[in-house]
């Protein structure tokens, strides 16, 4: 079971390299599978043009194809940190994390992609596939602990049937280079309903297969009873909320101030009645100051307080080269535009 493939280029022409000819040469080397030469060419170009997003993106693809997932993760992570408005690097990180069975990190990366662009259909689809994979693992564990439970067996069978057919690989399309140089990537536009585009022809494009869209038949009534629709909806929302909070902590750990602040509402109730702009400026400075930050969350509990409101409680472990602390924290979350955002933050319950 896989989430959807690695993406090969940004969906906006404005995100393409200012040096289209050089990037096209690197793409051609990738297309013809001359990977060491492609990587050497990309490194040389990036050394002279460190802010070129497209070349750095291609480097991550080349590293993935060369079987260097750790290096590819570093490349895409740095790109996401420098250009948080682009959802594609987050999607590629999610695929790489999922391949390593780091499902929590994959979920956090996909949540960041969706927060960056709520209309990014590929990330929504991948997140659904990821939840199905996590459900399968949980049902497997449940059967190990209670092998005679027919309900668990039925649920596991349904999940496996959903991915039982041979995955289909979507076709690729050629993207033309930008006509004029650009200084930095533009904000992501809403993608079309078609499969993600690629800079290389289908036969050369390394992809992660997409599960076939198939609906499993319902189990006999004697085996299990469906949960109420309202309960299912609440559980799904709780998963989205937990994923949003995890992504918030991940962005904080990466010192990604833009990603961190994107988790908050614009009318966030800052401590002491501070204005949002002043609070945000202060937070940027505090995130930038330490050399490294590590934020870990545990015992996450989500309580729905309304259709568009929730309370999240957890233990937060913060560590940097300047400070270490562990505390209980509560976040009051609000759903806005399909996203769960932080409305208020409290220390303690």
DSSP string computed for 78-130 = HHHHH-TT-SHHHHHHHHHHHHTT-HHHHHHHHHHHHHH-TT-HHHHHHHHHH
How does residue 56 score in pLDDT terms, banded at 50, 70 and 90? very high
> If pLDDT is split at 50, 70 and 90, which confidence band does 208 have?
very low
Instruction: Using the predicted structure, report yes or no on whether residue 298 has a pLDDT greater than 70.
Output: yes
Mean pLDDT, range 173-198, rounded to an integer: 36
- pLDDT at position 40 is 94
Contacts of 73 (CB under 8 A, 6+ apart): 93, 96, 97
- Other beta carbons less than 10 A from residue 203's beta carbon: 7
Determine the pLDDT at residue 173: 30
> Pick from 339, 324, 323: which is nearest to 243 by CA?
339
- Return the pLDDT at 204: 34
Does residue 39 contact residue 66 with C-beta atoms inside 8 Å?
yes
- Separation CA 204–CA 202 (nearest Å): 5
The answer, yes or no, to whether residue 109 has pLDDT greater than 80, is yes
- CB neighbour burial string for 283-295, b if at least 16 within 10 angstroms, e if fewer: beeebeeeeebeb
In degrees, to the nearest 5, what angle opens at C-alpha 137 toward C-alphas 133 and 141? 165
Reference 300, options 243, 251, 258; nearest CA is: 243
> Which of the pair, 193 or 254, is modelled with greater confidence?
254
Least confident range of 47-51, 139-143, 252-256: 139-143
- Residue linked to tokens 């060419």: 41
Residues of the chain with CATH 3.10.450.50: 230-347
Start-end of CATH 1.25.40.10 domains in the chain? 13-226
**Is there a contact between 84 and 258 (Cβ–Cβ < 8 Å)?**
yes
Cα of 89 vs its chain's centroid, Å: 8
Does residue 202 have a pLDDT over 60? no
What pLDDT is attached to residue 142?
58
The chain-wide mean pLDDT, for the chain, equals 73
Q: 2: which 2 tokens?
A: 């896989």
Domain 13-226 grouped into CATH 1.25.40.10: yes
Residue 293 pLDDT exceeds 70: yes
Cβ count within 10 A of residue 305: 10
Looking at residue 230, its pLDDT comes to: 57
Please provide the distance, in angstroms rounded to a whole number, between the alpha carbons at the two ends of the chain: 39
Predicted confidence (pLDDT) at residue 296 exceeds the cutoff of 80? yes
Q: Which residue, 253, 254, 256, is CA-closest to 84?
A: 256
> What per-residue confidence (pLDDT) applies to 129?
76
Instruction: Label residue 258 exposed, middle or buried (CB < 10 Å: 0-12, 13-18, 19+).
Output: middle
pLDDT, position 229: 53
State the average pLDDT over residues 247-257: 92
230-347: in CATH 3.30.930.10: no
Q: What per-residue confidence (pLDDT) applies to 263?
A: 92
Count CB atoms within 10 A of the CB of residue 253. Answer: 18
């Amino acid at each position: 079971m896989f989430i959807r493939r690695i993406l090969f280029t940004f969906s906006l022409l404005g995100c393409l390299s200012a040096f289209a000819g050089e990037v096209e040469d690197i793409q051609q080397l990738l297309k013809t599978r001359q990977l060491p030469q492609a990587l050497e060419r990309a490194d040389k170009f990036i050394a002279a043009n460190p802010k070129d997003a497209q070349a750095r993106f291609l480097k991550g693809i080349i590293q993935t194809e060369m079987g260097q997932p750790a290096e590819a993760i570093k490349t895409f992570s740095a790109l996401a940190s420098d250009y948080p408005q682009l959802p594609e690097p987050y999607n590629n990180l999610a695929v790489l994390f999922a391949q390593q069975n780091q499902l929590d990190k994959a979920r956090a990366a996909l949540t960041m992609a969706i927060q960056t662009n709520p209309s990014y259909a590929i990330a929504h689809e991948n997140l659904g596939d990821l939840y199905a994979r996590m459900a399968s693992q949980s049902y497997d564990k449940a059967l190990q602990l209670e092998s005679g439970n027919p309900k668990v067996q039925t649920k596991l069978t349904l999940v496996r049937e959903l991915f039982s057919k041979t995955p289909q690989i979507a076709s690729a399309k050629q993207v033309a280079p930008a006509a004029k140089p650009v200084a930095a990537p533009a904000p992501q536009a809403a993608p079309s309903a078609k499969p993600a585009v690629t800079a290389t022809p289908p036969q050369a494009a390394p992809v992660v297969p997409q599960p076939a869209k198939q609906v499993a038949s319902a189990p006999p009534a004697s085996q299990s009873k469906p949960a109420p629709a309202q309960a299912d909806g609440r559980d799904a929302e709780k998963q989205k909320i937990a994923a949003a909070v995890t992504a918030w902590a991940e962005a904080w750990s990466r010192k990604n101030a833009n990603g961190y602040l994107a988790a908050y509402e614009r009318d966030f109730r800052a401590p002491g009645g501070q204005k949002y702009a002043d609070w945000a400026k202060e937070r940027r400075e505090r995130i930038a100051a330490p050399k490294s930050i590590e934020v870990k969350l545990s015992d996450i509990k989500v309580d729905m307080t309304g259709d568009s409101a929730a309370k999240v409680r957890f233990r937060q472990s913060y560590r940097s080269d300047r400070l270490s602390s562990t505390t209980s924290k509560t976040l009051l979350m609000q759903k806005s535009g399909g996203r769960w955002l932080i409305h208020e933050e409290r220390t303690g319950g």
